[in-house]
Amino acid sequence: MNPHTDVHPPLPPRCGIVPPHLLDRLARSDDPVLAAPARRTLERDAAQRTRRHLVARATPAQPLPPRPAAEPAPRRAVYDAQNREELPGRRVRSEGEGPVRDASANRAYAALGATFALYLSAYGRDSIDGSGLPLDATVHYGEQYANAFWDGGRMVFGDGDGEVFRDFTLAVDVIGHELTHGVTQYTANLHYSGQSGALNESVSDVFGALIKQYEREETAADADWLIGAELFTDRVQGRALRSMKEPGTAYDDDVLGKDPQPGHMDDFVHTTDDNGGVHINSGIPNRAFQRFAVTLGGRAWERAGQVWYDTLTSGSLSPDADFADFAAATLAAAREQHGPGEVTKALSQAWTDVGVPVSG
């Protein structure tokens, strides 16, 4: 890719970390302290989607900014929305500058760096687009905004409502998850609906988890395999937004309900909500990756992560790939890297364990 001439791909759907079914539950609560922030968050999310679609139709694609003629290095900028909804906000920290007084800005800056480091060191990828794309983030978006999202060009973080959700910059895997939507945008560009949308969400969970493990220097066996473990307040009966190891067990709360994620195709959820259940059915490929990584042992971002990365960037995936298509593509990548031995057998078994058909 030539960063001087290539243009941005089409804007993807706006991808938020909090599943809409959680916000819907909160919005229907009898407690206005819980319901009001959730309703505002849902309204802002809908408005952002509308604005982005209008901009995408009205604005031609622009050339990417040129990459400096130097070794790959992050180019980070963090902005403060000051609890308003205008983006990007006021710039508060740029690449190479020291910490500022705002802890949220510092956490966002560090997590952008952790994401850049994992992709470069493990996979030789220079930023989200592979060509040194600047990494921008905005903190303190909106008032009690209970979400974080990738909008096609930047990370945006709310402060949470303080009742159910805490500051969204607290979870490095959430930041890695959202930035990986950008990687998918520039590679397989998986359609954000049905099984391809669930794969889009799952790939982000996989690399979000790997970024956290890389930062903590954890092995697959030592990792918690939780997504967003830092986000819930103490009043919530739950460990995280999702569990890759045990989908369906992340939370069981009087207000939020029970985690609906399945871990096997027998329990696949057929729904028209959430773009066809993209945040729900992603538990199935999530569990397949976790089982694959733990069976192989060692550092999950190495052999297991390399298979997923090679699959995502291979060019072999259709944008509307389903779980079986993705499983077949991962097996092809594993065979190319490792032959028919231990790695490929472990991968085939992992997909079998979650009920996704494999051949060969």
Q: How many Cα atoms sit within 13 Å of 248 on the Cβ side? A: 10
| Prediction pTM value | 0.91
Q: Are 163 and 192 in contact (CB under 8 A)?
A: no
Among residues 354, 41, 23, the alpha carbon closest in space to that of 202 is found at 354
pLDDT band, residue 48 (cuts 50/70/90): low
Residue 359 has what pLDDT?
77
Quote the CA–CA distance of 174 and 327 in Å, as a whole number.
Answer: 24
Quote the CA–CA distance of 108 and 168 in Å, as a whole number.
Answer: 9
Say which residues have a Cβ less than 8 Å from residue 271's Cβ, sequence separation at least 6.
277, 280
3-state secondary structure (DSSP) of residue 96: coil
Among residues 263, 312, 321, 266, the alpha carbon closest in space to that of 288 is found at 263
Model pLDDT for residues 100-146, shown as the tens digit of each residue:
999 999 999 999 999 999 999 999 999 999 999 999 999 999 999 99
Structure tokens at 249: 């067990």
Q: Is the pLDDT score of 13 beyond 80?
A: no
Q: Which of these ranges, 46-55, 76-85, 232-241, 291-300, has the smallest mean pLDDT?
A: 46-55
Catalytic hit among 140, 181, 191, 279: 279
> Which helix H or strand E contains 355, and what residues bound it?
none
Is 299 or 42 the better-scoring residue by pLDDT? 299
Share of the chain above pLDDT 90, in %: 84
Catalytic hit among 163, 177, 178, 215: 178
CA dist list (Å): 34 to 16, 40, 140, 212: 19, 11, 19, 29
Model pLDDT for residues 185-208, shown as the tens digit of each residue:
999 999 999 999 999 999 999 999
279 given a catalytic annotation: yes
Residue 272: DSSP 8-state? S
Residue 156 has what pLDDT?
96
* Domain architecture of the chain: domains with CATH: 15-186 (3.10.170.10), 194-353 (1.10.390.10)
Q: How many Cα atoms sit within 13 Å of 13 on the Cβ side? A: 16
Q: Could you tell me the maximum CA-CA distance found in the chain, to the nearest angstrom?
A: 58
Model pLDDT for residues 148-167, shown as the tens digit of each residue:
999 888 999 999 999 999 99
Q: For residue 243, what are the β-bridge partners?
A: 226
Residue 63 has what pLDDT?
41
Quote the CA–CA distance of 149 and 16 in Å, as a whole number.
Answer: 4
